[in-house]
Structure 1
Amino acid sequence: MNTESMESPGGTLNLPSVQERRSLREQVTHALRAALVAGELRPGIVYSAPVLAGEFGVSATPVREAMLDLAKEGLVEVVRNKGFRVIGLTEQDLDDFTEIRELIEIPATVRVAETATPEQLEPLRAHARAIVKAARKGDLVAYIESDRQFHLGLLALHGNRHLVDTVRELRSRSRLYGLNALVSAGRLVESAEEHERLLDAMIARDLTAVEHLIAEHLGHVRRLWAQGD
């Protein structure tokens, strides 16, 4: 596989600004993981820590630390004396990840709809609306982060932390290259609005609708978000 080295930016990446609420290492790790899932960071390119640090407006040290964290997760690999390369995935990998998510998340989401109170579910609406806001701005990294918070927050109501950890890892390993195409086609907002419809069905305890909506949503994650068609 040909490798393109990114020693200087060939164009500005859509990376979020770094805030002071968490350690720089945690923030950068979080932001890079979201950028990777959103397809902002691409396989076959070697990203140098100093260049990425310049994008974030921080020193290279927390970026190197963050990339090492991602390397431990199997998301990137170290390229000696150059930087880090994103590990590519096959179409079969993405199909397999989606299948596992469907097997876990559909029944788990229905179970949460059966047991969670409106008071427990309603706080998720802020995340659902943040997803739509990010979609309208075309901010893919913010979109992925808000989507992560919504779905993991929903699954946390199931009460099984191992289930949440498994889905978190599957999400981190996914690639959603089709999001840019959805933004260009003006369809990302439509996809974003699925979250609030799902939440409304859960609060109403319409279990048939909940099962249909989460299954349809995960199908869109694979067909529309990953492929863009």
Structure 2
Amino acid sequence: MAPGPDSSVIRRSTLREQIADALRDEILAGRLPSGHPFTVKEIADQYGVSATPVREALLDLCAQGLLDVEQHRGFKVHAYTADDFRAMVEARTLIIEGIFRSNAERALLATPAEVLISIRRRAEEAERAARAGDLDVLIGYDLRFWRELSGIVQNPYISDFLDRIRVQTWMFAVPLLRRDPRLRGRLWHGHSELADALLRHDLPDAQRLIAEYNEHSLALVGTAG
């Protein structure tokens, strides 16, 4: 009988993921701003854990484009530029358009109703937070909404790539948006309308809404900056 997995490895892997998720949330919330430096020891002391899972978590975040390694000094939060943001919006547009051009209609028809209902619920929560101007709540539901939405094509590479780009665009946008005191009602809140278009399998309308969303994102961040 083959030996089972080492429980210490499982715990360490889980801890690594928990630390990476916690730091990613701090970055997205703007509490770890661009260029902010730190060491493995500082994070290990903060969470009361050993250096190994912290170092692994930080390297994971580097691979996701959220952190940079500073040779012999530690890590720092990556700084994206306005040109980066425009390029990322273009990239996420191409990914989503590619999903809709390929087998999205067939995938939607094969998607269980409960999955589509879950996407609709995420849309409602994201829309509610957007209308209220609540960035912290919006980011969480927005990422989950798009993750579930991209999941309908059942290609984890597409879902992971889109999620990574969306995290990076939020990372750039959040500090700018927090400077704007008039966010209530100004954030894009078409999640429910987009979900409804997909529920009725109206892909042209869904594409129209996504194009409007991208134009809105570029205009809003440009205004906030």
Q: Structure 1-normalised TM-score? A: 0.70
Match of 2:14 in 1: 23
Query: Shift of residue 210 of structure 1?
Result: 1.2
- 2:40 and 2:34 mapped to 1: Cα distance? 16
Q: Tell me if the contact between 2:126 and 2:141 (Cα under 8 Å) persists in the aligned partners.
A: yes
Bigger Cα displacement from structure 2, 77-86 vs 207-216: 77-86
Identify unmatched segments of 5+ residues in structure 1: 1-19
- 1:137 and 1:210 mapped to 2: Cα distance? 24
CA 51–143 in structure 1, closer or farther in 2 if over 3 Å, else same: farther
Please say if 1:41 is aligned against 2:37. Answer: no
Match of 1:156 in 2: 151
Please say if 1:89 is aligned against 2:85. Answer: no
Question: Aligned-pair RMSD on alpha carbons?
Answer: 3.4
Letter in 1 for 2:182: A
SS in 2 for 1:101: helix
1:209-224 aligned at under 5 Å gives the runs: 209-224=205-220
- 1:132 and 1:35 mapped to 2: Cα distance? 22
Match of 1:197 among 193, 196, 199: 193
Q: Tell me if the contact between 1:131 and 1:146 (Cα under 8 Å) persists in the aligned partners.
A: yes
1:51-62 aligned at under 5 Å gives the runs: 58-59=48-49, 61=51, 62=53
- 2:97 and 2:107 mapped to 1: Cα distance? 15
Q: Tell me if the contact between 2:133 and 2:186 (Cα under 8 Å) persists in the aligned partners.
A: no
Letter in 1 for 2:197: A
- 2:67 and 2:22 mapped to 1: Cα distance? 14
Query: Shift of residue 155 of structure 1?
Result: 1.0
- 1:99 and 1:224 mapped to 2: Cα distance? 16
- 1:54 and 1:129 mapped to 2: Cα distance? 39
Match of 1:129 in 2: 124
SS in 2 for 1:85: strand
Q: Tell me if the contact between 1:47 and 1:85 (Cα under 8 Å) persists in the aligned partners.
A: yes
CA 90–225 in structure 1, closer or farther in 2 if over 3 Å, else same: closer
Please give the per-residue CA displacement for 1:86-113, whole angstroms capped at 9, x wherever unaligned: 1212222211111111112134247535
Query: Shift of residue 148 of structure 1?
Result: 1.6
Select the structure of larger CA radius of gyration.
Answer: 2
1:170-181 aligned at under 5 Å gives the runs: 170-174=165-169, 175-177=172-174, 178-181=176-179
Letter in 1 for 2:143: R
Query: Shift of residue 157 of structure 1?
Result: 0.6
- 1:133 and 1:50 mapped to 2: Cα distance? 39
Match of 2:90 among 96, 99, 116: 99
Q: 1 or 2, which has the higher helix percentage?
A: 2
Identify unmatched segments of 5+ residues in structure 2: 1-10
Match of 2:68 in 1: 77
Query: Shift of residue 60 of structure 1?
Result: 6.3
Bigger Cα displacement from structure 2, 65-74 vs 93-102: 65-74
Q: Tell me if the contact between 1:47 and 1:83 (Cα under 8 Å) persists in the aligned partners.
A: yes
Letter in 1 for 2:78: I
Q: Tell me if the contact between 1:128 and 1:147 (Cα under 8 Å) persists in the aligned partners.
A: yes
Match of 1:112 in 2: 104
Query: Shift of residue 160 of structure 1?
Result: 2.7
CA 65–170 in structure 1, closer or farther in 2 if over 3 Å, else same: same
SS in 2 for 1:89: coil
Please give the per-residue CA displacement for 1:115-144, whole angstroms capped at 9, x wherever unaligned: 41471311112322332465548352x432
CA 58–180 in structure 1, closer or farther in 2 if over 3 Å, else same: farther
- 1:90 and 1:128 mapped to 2: Cα distance? 29
